[in-house]
Structures are given as structure tokens and as C-alpha cells.
Amino acid sequence: MYVVLLGPPGSGKGTQGSIIAEQLRISHLSTGDLFREILQNPSHPLYPQVQVVDEGKLVSDDVVNLVVEDGIRKPEYRNGVIFDGYPRTIAQARALDCMLAAMDKKVDLVLDLDVTQDVLLFRILGRQVCPKCKKVFHERQGFKNCPDCGGPLVRRNDDNEETILQRLEEYRKKTAPLQEYYSKSKAVYIKLYIDDASKTAEDVNKEILELMKQNNVLYEVV
Ligand code: AMP
């Protein structure tokens, strides 16, 4: 199954992406994680083009499409993919359709996490991530180290108030039009409205699975 996760920064795409990938036994592909890895390595050939991440701007479509195309050909992506943070523009969505069509596949499901701005800011300003296993936490949980792998939790470079506003603006201008693109496509489109900051990732995940069942796109959960 090929799933696209839509939603503004802080909507929980990373967290839900990794939970759902395990539940459906598919791979989680986060372009943001791939770019953060590239930024750790200044000699990487794409490093100069990826530096815009720290300003909250989008990486160019050509570079993102190249990175994704390179990724989804790998054997570990053969069972299906949940795309987290990709596509982010109409041009990327068209490129993904072509990549999948060449493999005789298509986007089967779109999960749109529609989260209010108050909840987004609360989550992003308190967000902590584990650079090793990529899990996401909130400072209200009180962890200093990742409870799963023990690595020290850090804040993302682009999680500051100025960059967040830039990223939200990029989302509204360039990514929100994908809602219409996908609602007109053949993919099943599931939208989840979240306006309560106390809702946990488990609560949201339960709702997603329930909606997937109702839409006949949930066959087996691990
Ligand atoms: P994320 O982890 O999804 O919030 O992504 C972090 C940053 O990586 C974004 O603010 C962009 O600068 C960049 N990025 C991630 N995915 C894409 C994409 N599909 N297109 C362009 N830029 C992206």
C-alpha cells in the first residue's frame, strides 16, 4: 500500500508515519529526515541545495524528487511506503504519480492531519527528537533521553518561532493545494481534524485506524 501523509509542520506526520508503517508493515519515508541526515554531512553532493531547510524554505522539487526516486527503488520499500512530508507541491505529487506508475503502483490512501495553529505551535515549540531512532517527543513528557534507544533528545534547528511561521506559510501556499489534487484523485482520502493539544499520538492513531476500517482500506494491523 502507498500512503501519503498530508499536514502542516507539527501535525504529527512523523509520529503517525512511524506508528502506521509498523502497523501496516510498510516503510516510512520522511524527506525531512533524509535532508537532516544530509545536513550532518557538508561533503554530501546535495548539501548546498538542502541548506534552505534551516531557513524554513522548501528544497527544490528537482532535488526532492531525485532523493525520493532514489529511495523507493531500494528493496526495503517494495512492500509499500508511507510518505511523510512528500509530496509538498503539485509538481512533486505529479512526479510521485509517474514514479509509482512506472512500478505499476499508485497512491492508495491519503491521510490529511488537519491541526489548528494553536496546537501546531504548542507541539513544535516543545518538540524534542531522537536523532538516532527519529522518534518524536514533547518536553511535557519530561524525557532527557530517548526512552526507546537511550540517545540524548535534541531540538530541531528549524523549530524556532521565526522559522515555524515561514514553514506554515510555505504549507499554506504550496502544500495545501494538494488537498484538492488528492481529493479529486482515485486515492481514498481521509481527513482528521485535531484541535485538542492534550490528544495523544495513540488517540490519533486509533481514530486513523477506525477511519481506515470504515473506508475499507485496513486489512491487517500488526
Ligand atoms: P519535515 O521534517 O517534514 O518538517 O521537513 C523539514 C524541512 O525539510 C522542511 O521545512 C523543508 O525545508 C524540507 N523538506 C522536507 N520535505 C520536503 C519536500 N517534500 N519538499 C521540499 N522541502 C522539503
Residue whose CA lies nearest to ligand 1 atom number 10: 56
Enumerate the domain spans of the chain. 2-116+175-214
- Out of 3.40.50.300, 3.30.365.10, 3.30.565.10, 2.20.28.270, the CATH code matching 2-116+175-214 is 3.40.50.300
Q: Tens digits of per-residue pLDDT, 152-181? A: 999 999 999 889 999 999 999 999 999 999
Whole-angstrom Cα distance, residue 167 to residue 53?
A: 9
Does residue 127 carry a catalytic annotation? yes
Asked whether 59 and 35 are in contact (CB, 8 A), the reply is: yes
Ligand 1 pocket test, pick from 29, 30, 47, 59 with the greatest ligand atom count within 8 Å of Cβ, gives 59
Is the pLDDT at 49 greater than 70? The verdict is yes
Q: pLDDT category, 218, cuts 50, 70, 90?
A: confident
Average pLDDT rounded to a whole number, residues 42-62: 95
Catalytic one of 36, 123, 127, 134? 127
- Of 5, 55, 56, 61, residue with least CA distance to 30: 5
Query: In residues, how long is the chain?
Result: 222
Provide the CA 61 distance to its chain's centre, in angstroms.
16
Calculate how far, in angstroms, residue 69's C-alpha sits from the geometric centre of ligand 1: 16
pLDDT for the residue 156: 94
pLDDT tens-digit readout, 116-156: 999 999 999 999 999 999 999 999 999 999 999 999 999 99
Does residue 162 contact residue 55 with C-beta atoms inside 8 Å?
Answer: no
Q: Which of 77, 90, 100, 91 is nearest to 25 (CA)?
A: 77
- Measured from CB, residues less than 6 Å from any atom of ligand 1 are 9, 31-32, 35, 52-53, 56-59, 64, 85-88, 92, 158, 167
